[in-house]
């Protein structure tokens, strides 16, 4: 039970400040990236007009996510943002699923991963908004309905980062904690595989999808 | 006898366990009753399908029950767990954990009854899409459980993490506040997510070909209506893991307790309101799929406005924790 909330950290003192690195998370993130690169290489290795093998899986990911992006944004914009959205979904899906393997941890279990992805989505959405509406119109929207509401509008925008990243973090970390505690209570007999199937595979896939869709939706709300 | 630490821990564990199961039994029972009522209506419309409807009702009720099973697990843990490092803070943490799970199970239990009920009703309308309807119901009611899962996580953390190093005087209030914050905020979000999921099951039964759009908008709507419970979770984490200077003054403790109460009660309304917005959007996307984009934008803007009260509550909580 001591595993609850334990993190392996490397603390480097630099000029009076401590730089803390969460080694587990960094290692697991690189493993996920490497696996995705291998997957990408394998899908395009034997390309053909008639797709077969892994190429089908790769094309399915790309075409489904392009279609979802086109639904939310228009066709021109979708071309620009769909690669990002596809990559985000595949990264999150693998991040959430990798915890199924013993001794592997989900990088999304640590708040740093979802928070940085959430901040990334926030900046991309606002960049897209400023670019399509112009800075004047963009700033004007904060002063609606009256300019006194501006601070609250800003807090409302910032709270989107909190809600999108904590939703993913809470679900994945919650699943991991419940699996850990229940496995401890039942001495790892019978129950854990079912719990992992529910929390890791099912909830993991849904939350990866929700995070990706919300990023698209935040972009589309800023643009229109 | 009242100075005996073990007595206090037992008192907290027993009352906490009772609260967890007692409050946790409210929601699931209401949700299951709603499902059964809709199943009755469905059977009376088409008696030949009664076998399928009964199956669908039982599956839906089993999922609605899971929130109160979470509560049962926490209650049993509280009743039979032996504490390794007893201190008065452990007592506060155990009581907070019980409260958190008890309140947190109410919303998700009631909420996941809606998709189950609407799935039974939809089965009569379109018996040939039973597969799609069941999948949609399962996704919808699983996402409904998220607020209850958040409360279970906070409850487990309160029970298992060793807080005994912290100063007793303000920290006891922080631990009980952490339980109240997530537990109360989960009520609204669970209920609201259920409204959206129910509308999506109804929509799939009306227009089976819109299932992709309907499921996507349901998931986004549910995700946004969970925001209130996520704010509650955030405040709980801050309350649990911030270190407080020791202070014998009553105000310091009450500030922390009030922070939990503020974000907890503040989350109930926005969760239900956002769920209603999502319900409307999902229902009308199923009837008018051409306008899905516009409907979704209206839903999001409306939800953002109705969410602002949860943000006020969170700002007040953060002020109470960090400023006052």
**3-class SS string, chain B:** CCCCHHHHHHHHHHHHHHHHHHHHHHHHHHHHHHHHHHHHHHHHHCHHHHHHHHHHHHHHHHHHHHHHHHHHHHHHHHHHCCCCCCCHHHHHHHHHHHHHHHHHHHHHHHHHHHHHHHHHHHHHHCHHHHHHHHHHHHHHHHHHCHHHHHHHHHHHHHHHCCCCCCCHHHHHHHHHHHHHHHHHHHHHHHHHHHHHHHHHHHHHHHCHHHHHHHHHHHHHHHHHHCHHHHHHHHHHHHHHHCCCCCCCCHHHHHHHHHHHHHHHHHHHHHHHHHHHHHHHHHHHHHHCHHHHHHHHHHHHHHHHHHHHHHHHHHHHHHHHHHCC
pTM of the model: 0.88
Per run of 10 residues, the mean pLDDT along chain B (length 324 residues) is 78 93 93 94 91 90 90 91 82 93 94 94 90 90 91 90 83 93 94 95 90 89 91 92 85 92 94 94 90 86 88 91 82
A39 CB within 8 Å of a chain B CB: no
Dihedral over Cα of B135, B147, A68, A201: its sign: negative
Check if the interface score ipTM surpasses 0.90.
no
E-strand stretches of chain A: 9-14, 17-22
B263: CATH:
1.20.120.610
List CB contacts (< 8 A) between B293 and chain A. 71-72, 220
| pLDDT tens, per residue, chain A with 224 residues | 555 655 566 777 777 777 788 888 899 999 999 999 999 998 888 777 887 778 888 888 899 899 888 888 888 888 889 999 999 999 999 999 998 888 888 899 888 899 999 999 999 999 999 998 888 888 888 887 777 778 878 888 888 898 899 999 989 988 888 888 888 888 888 888 888 888 889 989 999 999 999 999 889 888 87
Q: Say how many residues make up chain A.
A: 224
List CB contacts (< 8 A) between A167 and chain B. 146, 223, 226-227, 230
Report pLDDT for A189.
84
B76 CB within 8 Å of a chain A CB: no
Among residues B185, B173, B176, the alpha carbon closest in space to that of B266 is found at B185
Domain count, chain B: 1
**For an interface test with B, which of A5, A156, A165, A181 has the most B Cβ atoms less than 10 Å from its Cβ?**
A181
Domain region containing B142:
5-322
Report pLDDT for A93.
94
A171 CB within 8 Å of a chain B CB: yes
Report pLDDT for A157.
86
């Amino acid at each position: 039970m001591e595993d609850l909330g334990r993190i392996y950290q490397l603390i480097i003192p630099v000029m009076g400040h401590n730089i803390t690195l969460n080694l587990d998370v960094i290692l697991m993130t690189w493993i996920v990236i490497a696996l995705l690169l291998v997957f990408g290489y394998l899908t395009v290795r034997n390309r053909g007009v008639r797709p077969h093998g892994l190429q089908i899986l790769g094309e399915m990911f790309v075409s489904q996510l392009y279609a979802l992006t086109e639904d939310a944004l228009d066709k021109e914009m979708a071309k620009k943002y769909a690669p990002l959205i596809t990559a985000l979904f595949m990264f999150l899906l693998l991040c959430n699923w990798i915890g199924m393997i013993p001794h592997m941890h989900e990088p999304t279990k640590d708040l740093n991963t979802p928070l940085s992805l959430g901040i990334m989505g926030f900046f991309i959405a606002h960049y897209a908004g400023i670019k399509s509406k112009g800075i004047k119109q963009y700033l004007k929207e904060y002063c609606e309905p009256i300019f006194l509401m501006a601070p609250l509008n800003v807090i409302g925008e910032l709270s989107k980062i909190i809600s999108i990243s904590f939703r993913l973090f809470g679900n994945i970390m919650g699943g991991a904690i419940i699996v850990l505690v229940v496995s401890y209570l039942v001495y790892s007999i019978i129950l854990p595989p079912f719990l992992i199937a529910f929390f890791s595979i099912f909830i993991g896939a849904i939350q990866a999808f929700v995070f990706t869709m919300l990023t698209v939706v935040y972009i589309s709300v800023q643009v229109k | 006898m009242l100075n005996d630490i073990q007595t206090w821990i037992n008192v907290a564990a027993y009352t906490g366990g009772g609260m967890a199961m007692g409050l946790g039994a409210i929601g699931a029972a209401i949700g299951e009753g709603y499902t059964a009522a809709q199943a009755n209506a469905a059977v009376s419309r088409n008696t030949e399908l009664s076998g399928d409807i009964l199956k669908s009702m039982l599956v839906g009720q089993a999922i609605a029950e899971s929130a109160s099973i979470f509560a049962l697990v926490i209650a049993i843990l509280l009743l039979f767990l032996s504490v390794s490092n007893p201190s008065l803070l452990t007592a506060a943490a155990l009581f907070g954990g019980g409260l958190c799970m008890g309140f947190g199970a109410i919303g998700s239990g009631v909420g996941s009854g809606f998709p189950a009920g609407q799935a039974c009703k939809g089965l009569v309308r379109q018996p040939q899409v039973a597969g799609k309807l069941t999948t949609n119901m399962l996704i919808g009611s699983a996402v409904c459980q998220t607020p209850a899962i958040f409360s279970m996580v906070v409850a487990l953390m309160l029970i298992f993490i060793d807080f005994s190093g912290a100063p007793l005087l303000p920290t006891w209030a922080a631990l009980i506040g952490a339980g109240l914050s997530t537990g109360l905020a989960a009520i609204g979000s669970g209920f609201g997510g259920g409204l959206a999921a129910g509308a999506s099951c109804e929509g799939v039964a009306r227009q089976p070909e819109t299932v992709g759009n309907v499921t996507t908008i349901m998931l986004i709507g549910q995700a946004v209506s969970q925001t209130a419970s996520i704010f509650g979770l955030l405040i709980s984490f801050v309350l649990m893991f911030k270190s407080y200077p020791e202070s014998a003054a009553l105000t310091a403790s009450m500030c922390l307790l009030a922070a939990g109460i503020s974000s907890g009660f503040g989350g109930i309304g926005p969760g239900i309101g956002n769920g209603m917005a999502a319900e409307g959007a999902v229902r009308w996307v199923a009837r008018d799929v051409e306008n899905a984009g516009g409907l979704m934008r209206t839903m999001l803007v409306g939800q953002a406005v109705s969410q602002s009260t949860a943000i006020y509550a969170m700002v007040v909580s953060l002020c109470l924790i960090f400023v006052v």
